[in-house]
């Protein structure tokens, strides 16, 4: 698991731990986030849930509240994908040709949700399984999250923060190499 750090300058940023990782096996992508929220800062489901593809709707604007994200840049390309997951449950996938282009973001069906699960007993564990319908097999990966405290403070968490503000779209921040040749 990889540790994500909060960009937010807040007194509570050291009061939680967030880890994530992504694995690729064939055309399946497995994503896992673990959120340890000892102080109960965040509004999180108290019950374990498993959702199939049919139970999770696509929705825009998930990053306005607590949202777990992954950015996938096919190795050697300027294109990248952004995937968002909330515990409502909801999800979405977007495709960009270059940095934040096009706007508004274009949804894609090249990456398809197969299932999501949430287990609050395992340090707040979100697991996501996706089907990769693209021809791309290797990616530079950025793992990120927006965490909204009950009091309204937002934490912008990522593996690294390369810009002078929280900007998950910077390809320089996609520091993990995942996939098969």
Q: List the structure tokens of 60.
A: 């825009």
The answer, yes or no, to whether residue 163 has pLDDT greater than 90, is: no
Provide the whole-model pTM.
0.94
Cα angle 89-92-97, degrees, rounded to a multiple of 5: 165
How large is the average pLDDT for residues 149-168?
A: 92
Q: What is the pLDDT of residue 15?
A: 87
Q: List the structure tokens of 116.
A: 């999501």
Using one digit for the tens of pLDDT, what is the confidence trace for 26-75? 999 999 999 999 889 999 999 999 999 999 999 999 999 999 999 999 99
Q: What is the pLDDT of residue 116?
A: 97
Q: What is the pLDDT of residue 13?
A: 76
């Amino acid at each position: 698991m990889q540790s994500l750090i909060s960009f937010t300058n807040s007194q509570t940023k050291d009061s939680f731990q967030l880890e994530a990782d992504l694995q690729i096996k064939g055309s399946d992508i497995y994503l896992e986030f673990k959120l340890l929220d000892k102080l109960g800062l965040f509004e999180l489901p108290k019950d374990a849930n498993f959702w199939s593809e049919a139970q999770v709707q696509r929705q825009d604007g998930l990053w306005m509240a607590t949202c777990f994200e992954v950015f996938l840049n096919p190795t050697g390309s300027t294109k990248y994908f952004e995937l968002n997951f909330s515990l409502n449950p909801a999800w979405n996938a977007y495709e960009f040709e270059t940095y934040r282009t096009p706007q508004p973001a274009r949804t894609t069906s090249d990456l398809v949700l197969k299932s999501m699960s949430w287990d609050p007993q395992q340090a707040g564990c979100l697991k996501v399984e996706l089907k990769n319908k693209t021809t791309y097999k290797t990616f530079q990966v950025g793992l990120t999250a927006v965490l909204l405290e009950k009091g309204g403070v937002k934490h912008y968490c990522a593996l690294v923060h390369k810009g002078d503000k929280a900007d998950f779209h910077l390809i320089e921040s996609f520091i993990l190499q995942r996939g098969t040749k």
